């Protein structure tokens, strides 16, 4: 997968807090560092995200996007 965002952090989902429209995804990127992102429930469902999944957080400007291979 190629993407223009240069700031990429691989990690593991440690918690997923679903809401009606959005979900908060909390990711452990190692070294005691945690990143969180709020994404749509459609994206959670499309990526089939769940705790324990290995993902990559892409940070571009003020956004944190989630990717899964």
pLDDT given at position 15:
98
In a domain, 27, yes or no: yes
CATH at residue 44: 2.40.50.100
pLDDT in tens, 17-26: 999 999 999 9
Q: Please tell me the distance from the alpha carbon of residue 34 to that of residue 59, in angstroms, as a whole number.
A: 13
In a domain, 1, yes or no: no
pLDDT in tens, 35-68: 999 999 999 999 999 999 999 998 877 667 778 8
In a domain, 22, yes or no: yes
Mean pLDDT of the chain: 90
pLDDT given at position 14:
98
In a domain, 2, yes or no: no
Range of the domain at 50: 7-67
In a domain, 49, yes or no: yes
Total domains in the chain come to 1
In a domain, 18, yes or no: yes
Q: Which residues contact 64 (CB under 8 A, 6 or more apart)?
A: 35, 36, 37, 57, 58
Give pTM, 2 decimals.
0.82
The DSSP H or E segment spanning 43 is: helix 41-47
């Amino acid at each position: 997968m190629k993407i223009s965002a240069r700031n990429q952090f691989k990690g593991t989902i440690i918690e997923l807090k679903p809401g009606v429209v959005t979900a908060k995804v909390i990711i452990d990127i190692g070294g005691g560092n945690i990143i969180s992102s709020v994404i749509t429930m459609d994206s959670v469902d499309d990526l089939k995200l769940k705790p324990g999944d290995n993902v990559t957080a892409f940070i571009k400007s003020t956004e944190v996007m989630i990717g899964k291979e």
